[in-house]
Amino acid sequence: MKKWFVILALVMISLVLSGCASTAKVAEAPAPVRPVVIGAEGIPQPEWVYKTVSTQDVHYETGYGKMSDKQNSIKRATVEAKNKIAAWVSTQVKEVVVTYINDAGSGANRQALDAMEVISQQVAEATLSGVTTEEIWVDADNGVWVLCTIPIANIQKSFEPAAEAVAEAFIENEAADAANAKMKDAFANLLKGAK
């Protein structure tokens, strides 16, 4: 009887311990490990291929290309990255236009809308200055990935001539100076906050 009692007690203890142990395991489950992907040149896949890179002063975009040779693949990948940068600048400018019009309450002001149209076109289609390819990675299929950068300051410089054009368009408007300053601020803030 005593022997059975001891066995029963041991079973109970082990069940209790195993229950605790399994709880602990769940709590301490490690994060899933991302498999290491090795490229055609023996270099592991860098993080920037699948994860957005973001800093305060530089905007990053990636591009991918797979053509008949590496140089053409690089060309296509950089073309894609530059186009993404241009699209990003264009989006930011359009956002400034909408923000400004809402903020200034000038939705019905045709002059303001025309001026905004001008700045939107000029900045969005301005040339991108100083796009640099920082990294290149070739995947196992010989597709080329590039990481391109553009300094935010360079985009702001492109904005200045267009802002002057708008200032001229607002010449008859009482709030010309204030509107121009507000618009410049809005653009600078959006660029800072939209990486």
Partner 1 sequence: MLLGAVLLLFGCRTVSNEQSQKDALAYLDVSSHPSNVYVGLSGPYSTQERMVEEAILSAAKSIQLKKALALDSRLVTSYQSDKGLLSFASDEAAFYDDTTMAETIHALEVLSVHFDPEAGAVVIVQDPRESGKKRVYQSSYNEEGKPTWITTYPKVDGYQFGVGSAKRHYFLNDSLEATDFAAAQNLLDLKTEHAFSVEKVTTANQQMESHLYQAQRGLLKGFTIIARYYDRASQTYWSLACADE
Which residues bind to partner 1, rule: CB under 8 A? 41, 67, 69-72, 74-76, 78-79, 82-83, 85-87, 125, 127-133, 136, 138
At residue 52, the 3 state secondary structure works out as: coil
Alpha-carbon gap, residue 139 to 30, rounded angstroms: 28
- Residue with Cβ nearer partner 1 (99 or 121): 121
Least Cβ distance, residue 132 to partner 1 (angstroms): 5
- Residue closer to partner 1 (CB basis): 90 or 109: 90
- Using the minimum distance from each CB to partner 1, give the nearer residue, 12 or 87: 87
Cβ nearer to partner 1, comparing 24 with 79: 79
Give least dist CB 70 to partner 1, A: 8
Helix (H, G, I), strand (E, B) or coil at 56: coil
At 105, phi and psi to the nearest 5?
65, 30
β-strands 58-65, 144-151 pairing: antiparallel
Residue 146 CB: number of other CB atoms within 10 A?
26
Q: Which is nearer to partner 1, 64 or 109 (CB)?
A: 64
Q: Least distance to partner 1 from the beta carbon of 137, Å?
A: 11
Rounded to whole angstroms, how far apart are CA atoms 93 and 170?
A: 18
For residues 103 and 183, is the Cβ–Cβ distance under 8 A? no
Min dist CB 141 to partner 1, Å, is 15
Minimum distance of partner 1 from residue 17's CB (angstroms) = 55
- The dihedral region occupied by 8, where left means phi > 0, alpha psi between -120 and 50, and beta the remainder, is alpha
Identify which of residues 76 and 187 has a Cβ nearer to partner 1 in the complex.
Answer: 76
What's the closest the beta carbon of residue 133 comes to partner 1, in angstroms? 4
Would you say 59 and 85 are in contact if contact means Cβ atoms under 8 Å apart? yes
